[in-house]
Chain A
Amino acid sequence: MRRSIFTHITVLSAALSAALLLGLWWVTDRTIDETIAASLAEGVDVDLAGLVDIHASGGADELARRIDDRLAVMPKDGARAHYLLIDGEGVRIAGDLAAWPDLDPAISERGPIRIGQQTRAEARATMLAGNLRLLVAHEPVGRGALLSRVGLVFVLGGAVFVACIALFAQVAGARVRHRVASVGAAFRNGDDQALAALATAERKDEIDEIARQAALALERDRQLMTAYRETSEQVAHEIRTPLSHLDARLVKALAASNNRQAGDHLVAARGDIRRLVGTLEALLDIAASKAHRGQRKGLRPVDLSALTRGICELYQDTAEDAGYAFSWDIAPDITLPGDEAQLGRVVTNLLDNAFKYNRPGGTIRVVLEPGPRLSIADNGPGIAPADRTRVFERFYRGNAVTGGDQPGAGLGLALAQAIAQRHGLVLKLLPSEPGAHFILLPEEG
């Protein structure tokens, strides 16, 4: 299944924005903690400074009363304050703490202390006149409620934010996808008007530029194809026309000749002309097939099953005359987009080979399976290992095993391969002993 780059971008955008939100939440959480801690310390210092002032102005008894007053008040936010006032002997004068914590009042030390088993508080100790020691501790304000509120804002706001990002990516992606799809369709369908519009479009953005460059490349390709076609037509015309005149002369000579031997030579000469024309056509067909490789334009649905069966039936009598055991097993209704005459030529060339290079009493087996996968195997002398890689080359005629006395210009398999590749297929020679085993199957990828 093809995966859309735009779906990837949408998913990545949503994931990235969610990750950024999480990071932002972590930073916010830390900041809230630090702010609460700073605020707590400041509250302790302010409380302590107030009590120091009271001691300075009212003495120890006044201080003890005020401490008792403060302990009697329960704050609304639940963040209770704790106090301890002791004399030089360590005897408690006022406050609710049972023991002096590990804080040095001589240096007005500040730090966290534990109150009971669970509660932690921020505290500062200090020395007062008369060798008194005062400790003020505040429990932190409950941060849960604050964090819940901020967290809710983050969750709701974050969801909306991620959804907006995903929606934006989706809409933007859909627009770009639509443009890319229309460019792709213009190339795929070979729509001349649309391609010309792409080639001449003003360069607005990167997609326009890519489409324009691709359309220009295609235009150059088409010009090359036109030049190729014109040249091959001229070559064909300039060779076939004089050959046609030559043939006409031979026909006249044949009509005027009473000499059977001379007549045989004239007939053979006409055969040479036809073979020369056949070679020329095969070369042009190879070139045309290679030039059109990968293009689907001009291909129509071809019933490969019916085509192969018809050709096999045509060869049946030849097999009987030659004494070959010729059999075929053809799966029905195998179709592919193609050029029927050219595909017929592939099957015929392979069968020709199997018939030409066989031995009396030999077997020839044709199998067509869905895929398509066409297999044509014989048990003739086969193809020498050294020749196997070269059998699809033009003008290559192996003579190690196949024998060099068979007619043909050595273009049959090269043409069959070129036609196969023009149809997105490939022709392979399988290692087999004895005989030759060719298969035609879709190109990989």
Chain B
Amino acid sequence: MKVLYIEDDPRAAAELCELGWQQGDIIAVETDGQSGLRRAGIEAFDVIIMDRMLGDSDGLALVARLRDSGVSTPVLMLSALGRTSDRAEGLEAGADDYLAKPFEALELLARIRALHRRASGREHSAVILYGAFECHVKARTAFRSNRHLALSPREFELFRYFMENAGEVITREMLLFDVWNMAFDPQTNVVDVNIGRLRRKLEEGFDSPALETVWGSGYRLLEGRAEPRTEDQAP
């Protein structure tokens, strides 16, 4: 995957380059808006990451110009402005996704891969398969090792999101925003409770775990095959 990162803060650029990129990923950095715009126009990238507040230009105007000039590369806007209205402005300007600083590295990577997947046409089909799990999107049914999982509509939405991002770490923020359309974290434990319910449904009658709690970050769907049971830890 080839990524262009337009960021005027060298420290932030360095931090991003140190994230857990996969072998073969290429991260190109441009430190101002004009150079970024020029480079995005002449070179093909899979995803563009853009800071919203650049020294020489406003990221919102930049992404709009990018779209006007016919560049349709998916753009993820990174910003120190994280209010709901800021996010809405970013998406309206033409960005495909928006992430506020400070962010979870795993969330950024998951979002970039999701953008890349969508842009390259590898959208999920009517049936998503991952390990021992099956998700029949249209029929709204779920199976583990061919055994039907009795999920409520809300649990199914959650399961489908994990299946769409199978193998990726899913943060609380991603669940709140992408599944429940909430741009903030409630003070009560609704996320944990909903995850707990789904986990019980996925693991009931099986010896191996289905959902892994990633220490300090979030949750990840496991393949659900014959892995030994491990003790979960709080995120």
Contacts and interface: CB of A to CB of B under 8 A. Distances in A.
Interface of A: 233, 236-237, 239-241, 243-248, 251-252, 254, 263, 266-267, 270, 273-274, 277-278, 281, 284-285, 288, 310, 313-315, 317-318, 321, 339-342, 344-345, 348, 351-352, 355-356, 407-408, 412
Contact of A278 (B18, B180, B185, B189): B185
Given A236-B81, A281-B83, A321-B196, 17 more contacts: A233-B81, A237-B80, A244-B12, A244-B103, A246-B102, A248-B102, A254-B216, A281-B184, A310-B181, A315-B190, A318-B193, A321-B193, A339-B84, A341-B84, A344-B181, A351-B186, A352-B186
A266 B53 CA distance: 29
A148 B222 CA distance: 108
Contact of A263 (B83, B184, B193, B215): B215
A344 B197 CA distance: 23
A317 B191 CA distance: 10
B102 A240 contact: yes
A288 B83 CA distance: 10
A244 B80 contact: yes
B154 A313 contact: yes
B193 A317 contact: yes
Contacts of B100: 240, 277
A239 B215 CA distance: 26
A237 B12 contact: no
B23 interface: no
A342 B194 contact: no
Contacts, number: 107
Q: Taking each of B9, B80, B103, which has the highest tally of chain A beta carbons within 10 Å of its own beta carbon?
A: B80
B102 A288 contact: no
Contacts of B196: 321
Interface of B: 9, 11-12, 15, 18, 53, 80-85, 88, 100-103, 105, 154, 180-190, 193-194, 196-197, 215-216
B105 A318 contact: no
A248 B80 contact: no
A370 to B, nearest CB: 24
Nearest to A268: B216
Contacts of A237: 53, 80-81
B188 A356 contact: yes
Contacts of A240: 80-82, 100-102
Most buried by A among B82, B101, B154: B101
